[in-house]
Amino acid sequence: MSYSLLTKPWIPVRQGVQVKPVSLLNLFECWDSLNDVCAANPPRQIALYRFLIAIVHAALRGPEAGQDYKALWKNQNLGHQICDYLNQWAERFDLLHPEYPFLQEANIPQTIKQTPIGKAVYQDTNTPIIWFKPNDTPWLKLPDATQELLRMQSLELGGKKGDTTTGAGRWTQGRHIFPTGSSIRETLLLNLVQYEATETDKPVWEQDKPYGTGERHPSGYLDWLTYCERRILLTIDEDKVTHLRLASGWKLPADTASTWDHHQTFRFFSKEKSWKALIFNPQRQLWDDSEAILHTTEQSNHRPRIFDWLSNNRKLKDPQPVRVLGFAHAGGTQSAKAVHWADDVLSVPESVLENADAWQWVEGAINWARCFGNVFTTKTFQYAPRPSDRNQKSSLKPGERNTIATQLPSLQAALYSYIGQQFPRLLLDLADLDHAPNRLERWQTDLKSYSQELVSLLVDMLPDYRSKAITERMFNVAIYNVMHRSEQENAV
């Protein structure tokens, strides 16, 4: 029995308005005409992008330098070259191979009990899940199971699955940045980086002993991209996967260098003296994280290295489309509970990526957005008029104060949603340095107007004219103070 990933359609792709599955060979044969990979959710999308990037790097064993990289864009035979490489390793891309099943350990100990695939992939029924599998279909088709294999090796939530307790995968908890082109070919080439091949650095499908336990440093970039943190063996019934055996695999040492990764933002932690991936906080929208993602000169953050490579070796589109995928879990004892994911697209002006002066205008716009966000917090209660009675702590009654406080998170979320909708267009406008000052001024006015609309909604909810008047005055003072911050504080 065989299920070759080279010939069986299992990778979802988009061609125009149509979404269809293709095989690996078909993808690279037709990658000029296919628009994008189109997975069912962001974790799968991240895993598929990185898997395909690893294949291209492995087939080329490069590019070693910028000149080699530029030549790839002119190489019309590149797709066939990659297909030739895949055919050399065809048996390692067979999901059901008796000795080398794809991304599985054929000799996993029988003492490891089987776990239903639904429980391993979709969580227990009592955990809050964000992807859903009905209980009456406790199986996966082989294409879905293959994509889940890729995800589980790097984006696993962790926690207890069957008899095994595992930690979170190395790409869980962060935002992943992938510049995109008009075709899969362009997208994959945009996400290649400088790579100098060594004899020891091999992707998992080329390794003689790819699975094991204990701490192990990656031997190179190919090993990093395909590093197996799980030992897995699927249980297959005809064309379905019903169970799997799951155990811990390799573990990255704590001092693993952040330089292995080119598609995440890293933050420096001074206490530990180390760089770690910037955690994807579901409470922060993309605009609020863009400082770390795009900024050219931030000291405490290192933006994704793919931007630095492209800036030096490839004329970017202006603006350059960038896909930003996020995934997060609760962490700690709740690590098996998925919290949130995101799939955003930004069109990033070239000047914002390469010009610190252009970035200053964007930074000013972000600071304004954050300040208006603070209007809809309990800090605004400090602007309530003082009560006439000295024994009163506030001119607002406790019930009125509680009513307002209860609504603040919803109002702030509404403001942030508005900012998120406007930010992509704002980013393009601020890249025009001649008109950036006027655009930033208009941005301040827009934020003020929208904030006042939200305040009006809040005031309408209150029961009497007294509470309405106090609340309206309180928020007007807060908005006034935001609009009249000192020039030094708001300098851009």
Mind listing the pLDDT tens digit for each residue in 98-155?
999 999 999 999 888 898 887 777 654 444 444 545 555 578 999 999 999 999 999 8
Is 15 within a domain?
yes
Domain identity same for 403 and 433: yes
Domain boundary among 353, 374, 392: 353
Is 153 within a domain?
yes
Is 409 within a domain?
yes
pLDDT(446) > 60: yes
Q: What is the pLDDT of residue 486?
A: 45
Domain identity same for 203 and 115: yes
Q: Mind listing the pLDDT tens digit for each residue in 153-166?
A: 998 876 666 566 66
Domain of 160?
11-253+281-353
Q: How many CA atoms lie within 13 A of 5 on its CB side?
A: 29
**Measured between alpha carbons, how far is 205 from 226 in angstroms, rounded to an integer?**
9
Q: What is the pLDDT of residue 256?
A: 82
Domain identity same for 435 and 344: no
Is 165 within a domain?
yes
Is 274 within a domain?
no
- The burial class, CB within 10 Å (0-12 / 13-18 / 19+), for 128 is exposed
Domain identity same for 376 and 463: yes
Domain identity same for 291 and 338: yes
Q: Work out the average pLDDT over 365-377.
A: 96
Q: Please, which residues have CB within 8 angstroms of residue 154's CB and are 6 or more apart in sequence?
A: 46, 47, 50, 169, 170, 171, 172, 227, 229
Domain identity same for 403 and 432: yes
Domain identity same for 248 and 379: no
Domain with residue 468: its CATH number is 1.10.132
The answer to whether residues 114 and 235 touch, using CB atoms and an 8 Å cutoff, is yes
Question: Where do we find the tokens 């209660």?
Answer: 381
Is 271 within a domain?
no
For residue 4, the 8-state DSSP code is: B
Domain identity same for 363 and 341: no
Domain boundary among 309, 338, 353: 353
**Measured between alpha carbons, how far is 10 from 40 in angstroms, rounded to an integer?**
12
Domain identity same for 233 and 342: yes
Question: Where do we find the tokens 């605004």?
Answer: 380
Number of domains in the chain: 2
Q: Which helix (H) or strand (E) holds 372?
A: helix 356-375
Domain boundary among 329, 353, 377: 353
Is 263 within a domain?
no
Q: Mind listing the pLDDT tens digit for each residue in 230-256?
A: 999 999 998 999 999 998 899 999 888
Is 260 within a domain?
no
Domain identity same for 221 and 333: yes
Q: What is the pLDDT of residue 96?
A: 96
Domain identity same for 361 and 318: no
Domain identity same for 303 and 317: yes
